[in-house]
Amino acid sequence: MSDTPIKEKKHLSIRLHIFISMIALCLGLMLVLWITGGVFLKQIYGFIKTRDIQHASTDITTNLENDKLPLLLEEISSAYDLCAKVFAFEGDDLTLVAEADFFNDCIICDNLNVSNKELLEDIYEHTKEDGGESSFPSNNESVISTKIVHSADGERAFLVVINTSTSPIPATVRTINSLLGILTVVSIIIALVVSFILAKKISSPIEKMDKDARLLKENDFSVHFEEKGPREVVDLAKTLNKATADMAEVEGIRKELIANISHDLRTPLTMISGYSEVMRDIPGENTPENMQVIIDETARLTSLVNDLLNVSKLQSGAQKLDMKKISITKTLQDTVKRYDTLINHNGYIISFEHEGEAFVLADETRLLQVAYNLINNAINYTGEDKVVIVKQEIKDDIVRISVTDTGEGISEENLPLIWDRYYKVDKVHKRAMVGTGIGLSIVKNILLLHNSRFGVSSEIGKGSTFWFEFKLYQEKDKQ
């Protein structure tokens, strides 16, 4: 296998990207203009002049019997830069009706007169053979257009002759080319200036973001990304600020987790180590009582590891439920009964209130976890009266289970956070029950797997009530 290091591909900066794009756009537009002006100018000019002749011919023929035709002909000729003559054939008589000359190189002004009747008659016949309208190029890159129109009474026939250039004059071409050269230089200068300003405006906040983002690698979560600039940059800054806040929160949770786990691990390990040394070094201390302490502390460690594993499985979706019909009433009765020793030795009052038996479709093992964790949580935080009330209520097809303590309660801002993994309202560890600080997270994930509603209500100084709901079992729910 080759040890040759892979070279990292170099990427262009935003500024250079914008600079190159602007220059390419500018040069592309100039190239189009140069091609248009240098290659297709003659064709475009010819197309425009042909269209002008058609418009002029239409305007003239619609006003042939207008008394103001000479004046109109001058206006039309001036507007379209052309030379025009109108002749009338009436029997053998030929007359010039009107003429106007606004085309410098006109070839019909001197060559097409009433005195040259034979030429006019030839043009008339040729136009007539072409269907009443004809055009043909002359020798100096101009075109002659002819059209025959009859008077309303049919007694006269009008011959409209128009002559204009179909090719731009050399001076015009040179002017356009010079203008294109100037435009190219000016456009490149403008593109350079605009690309520099635009690139700086866009890249500066991103470069600052990149600089600030590097601080996150050093776990500096105090950094704040400025929400300035284009909309996309502002959106990115908002996303980064939100991510920074989340990372800071995760870092806080991580530190708290380490502290909590360290505390929960240190105590049983210290007890196990201490009692083991005593039993090893002091004769007569190898008693069942000391062994029981070691066993209890080992169970505490096992519980901690199992709780951590359960949370990971539940949140990853690896935990599968064994759903079956169970009596939630009997499950809770048995659970509360297991606390008799705690009641007798420590003075806790744990009661279970219910009316009638309720059946639900659930995983009994996981439901026991929910019950144990909620009751343990209530015991850890109940008041000096050491009262914990477990209650079952049935309404319609819903059974609600609630666990109430008489402790200090939870502030309103902390209520949404108590279900989070490793979150603790306070840092006080009580050893009345085995606990890891993640019991409510286990409860939340188990109930989510059951699609159950759950929540908590609390008032400072009056305790808290945690509750969850299940649908009563129906035969159609059987799986």
If you average pLDDT over every residue of the chain, what do you get? 80
Q: Where along the chain do the CATH 1.10.287.130 domains lie?
A: 231-312
Report how far residue 227's alpha carbon sits from residue 234's, in angstroms, rounded to the nearest whole number. 5
Are 99 and 114 in contact, with CB atoms under 8 Å apart? no
Residue 222: is its pLDDT beyond 80?
no
Report how far residue 188's alpha carbon sits from residue 23's, in angstroms, rounded to the nearest whole number. 7
Are 142 and 164 in contact, with CB atoms under 8 Å apart? yes
Q: What are the tokens at 429?
A: 């560890």
> Of 4-13, 156-165, 184-193, 434-443, where does the model show the most confidence?
156-165
CATH architecture designation of domain 320-477: 2-Layer Sandwich (3.30)
Q: What are the tokens at 149?
A: 């129109």
478 φ, ψ (degrees, to nearest 5) = -65, 135
> Of 2-16, 37-51, 112-126, 387-401, where does the model show the most confidence?
387-401
pLDDT score for 468: 96
pLDDT score for 429: 41
Q: Higher-confidence residue: 37 or 219?
A: 219
pLDDT tens digit string along 416-449? 778 865 555 554 444 334 444 577 887 888 898 8
Q: Which fold has domain 231-312?
A: Helix Hairpins (1.10.287)
pLDDT-based confidence at residue 192 (cuts at 50, 70, 90): confident
Q: Higher-confidence residue: 442 or 454?
A: 454
pLDDT score for 354: 92
Kind plus residue range of the DSSP H or E element containing 145 = strand 142-150
pTM above 0.75, yes or no: no
Q: Where along the chain do the CATH 3.30.565.10 domains lie?
A: 320-477
Strands 349-353 and 387-395: parallel
Q: What are the tokens at 235?
A: 């959106």
Q: Say what percent of the chain tops pLDDT 70.
A: 83
Compute CA distances 185 → 25, 68, 182, 248, whole Å. Answer: 14, 50, 5, 53
